[in-house]
């Protein structure tokens, strides 16, 4: 088989109902099954037989690969290495793709061959109705709707100081890659421990892996883009809507945001002395007044993560604050 598209689902101890909805949506793709393969990466699920409780017989071109090193980035790399498609699509185990998603990926890449990575809308399906303040933290939950305008970004001839990670760059949920770009990313990360740990690993909520992919491709001369016709539904469980979970997530996300930009020599901030991290967090406690509301608490935790990131920066890009 020479598939046009490889769908890669990294998963660790998945919720049965949510992953089943993910698979049911893939069954309904308008792209003929002969044109795409399904690769499920079992990333160290405690029970190795659990993944086989799901029925994959509906798709003749399915691979289940066991990745023994824990971590979302390692699972994605394993999926890339196992794939054969010209285009690769990352699908989380709680993503429900619109019926035309795979066909749209092909059409976009054929019309925009300079694009290395693309993404689109990620709309919520909440298990329980969230409190009103949760919407302020949709970005933490990989939820986005940036409207109907196509947006594309490349470094091209930008001065080094102006290069950035665009706000509309693809997120991991539903991210599609050209094969050549994906292989370039795998070669670049190799055994770089710092970059391999930029995304979810065990109980860690780090979430910079998709940004790392985007910046790697941008540095290599590819462009990245947002296309509204790429739409999926993100299934959000009740436990992800609590103050404590969102606080942990915001803290880890902002810490990894600083670290991934540093890994690509983008420095919108200056390093701070590591000894100053805790005093700054204490000062921020009184500035953010986290006792007043869940949103204040989550934002304070985000500031704490930012300080932690700034305290670990390399010291070769400017004076310390």
What pLDDT shows up at residue 40?
Answer: 98
**Alpha helix segments (H runs only) across 43-131:** 72-82, 101-111
Q: Give the model's confidence band at 194: pLDDT under 50 very low, under 70 low, under 90 confident, else very high.
A: confident
Q: Is the pLDDT of residue 161 over 80?
A: no
Closest CA to 70 of 203, 172, 185: 203
In this prediction, residue 159 carries a pLDDT of 80
Q: Is the pLDDT of residue 287 over 50?
A: yes
Examine the pLDDT at 315 and tell me if it is beyond 70: no
H/E element holding 253?
A: helix 243-263
pLDDT tier at 227, thresholds 50, 70, 90:
very high
- Per-residue pLDDT reduced to its tens digit, 7-61: 999 999 999 999 999 999 999 999 999 999 999 999 999 999 999 999 999 999 9
Q: Is the pLDDT of residue 191 over 80?
A: no
Q: Which domains does the chain have, with CATH numbers?
A: 5-236 (3.90.550.10), 245-311 (no CATH)
Q: Do residues 243 and 296 touch, judged by C-beta distance below 8 A? A: no
| Residues 215 and 264: beta-carbon distance below 8 Å | yes
Span 92-131, pLDDT tens digits: 999 999 999 999 999 999 999 999 999 999 999 999 999 9
- Residue-level pLDDT at 319: 47
Judge whether residue 311 has pLDDT over 80: yes
Q: Are 17 and 85 in contact (CB under 8 A)?
A: no
Q: What is the pLDDT of residue 316?
A: 53
End-to-end CA, the chain: 57
Strand partners, 176: 89, 118
Select the more confidently predicted residue: 266 or 246: 246
% of the chain surpassing 90 pLDDT: 86
Predicted confidence band of residue 318 (pLDDT cuts 50, 70, 90)? very low
Report pLDDT for 190: 81
Q: 232-252: per-residue pLDDT in tens? A: 999 999 999 999 999 999 999
Q: What is the DSSP string of 211-223?
A: HHHHHHHHHTT-E
Average pLDDT over all residues of the chain? 94
pLDDT at residue number 1: 76
Contact 210, 175 (CB under 8 A): yes
**Average of per-residue pLDDT across 190-208:** 81
Average pLDDT over residues 295-300: 98
β-partners of residue 118 are 176, 225
Per DSSP, 169 falls in state: S
């Amino acid at each position: 088989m020479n598939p046009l598209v490889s769908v890669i689902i990294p998963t660790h101890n998945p919720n049965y109902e949510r992953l089943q909805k993910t698979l049911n949506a893939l069954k309904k793709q308008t792209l003929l099954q002969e044109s795409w393969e399904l690769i499920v990466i079992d990333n160290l699920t405690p029970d190795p037989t659990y993944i086989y409780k799901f029925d994959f017989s509906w798709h003749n071109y399915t691979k289940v690969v066991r990745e023994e090193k824990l971590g979302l980035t390692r699972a994605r790399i394993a999926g890339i290495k196992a794939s054969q498609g010209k285009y690769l699509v990352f699908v989380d185990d709680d993503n429900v793709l619109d019926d035309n998603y795979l066909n749209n990926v092909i059409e976009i890449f054929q019309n925009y061959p300079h694009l290395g990575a693309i993404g689109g809308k990620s709309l919520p399906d909440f298990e329980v109705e969230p409190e009103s303040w949760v919407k302020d933290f949709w970005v933490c939950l990989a939820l986005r709707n940036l409207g109907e305008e196509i947006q594309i970004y490349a470094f091209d001839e930008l001065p080094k100081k102006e290069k950035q990670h665009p706000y509309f760059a693809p997120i991991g949920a539903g991210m599609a890659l050209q094969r050549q770009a994906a292989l370039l990313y795998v070669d670049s990360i190799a055994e770089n421990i710092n970059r391999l740990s930029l995304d979810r690993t065990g109980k860690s909520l780090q979430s910079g892996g998709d940004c790392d992919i985007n910046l790697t491709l941008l540095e290599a001369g590819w462009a990245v883009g947002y296309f509204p016709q790429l739409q999926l539904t993100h299934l959000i469980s009740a436990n992800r809507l609590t103050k404590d979970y969102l606080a942990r997530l915001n803290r880890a996300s902002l810490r990894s945001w600083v670290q991934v930009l540093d890994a690509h020599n983008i420095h919108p901030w200056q390093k701070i002395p590591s000894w100053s991290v805790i005093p700054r967090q204490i000062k921020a406690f009184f500035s953010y007044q986290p006792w007043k509301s869940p949103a204040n608490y989550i934002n304070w935790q985000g500031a704490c993560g930012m300080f932690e990131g700034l305290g670990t920066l390399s010291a070769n890009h400017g004076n310390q604050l």
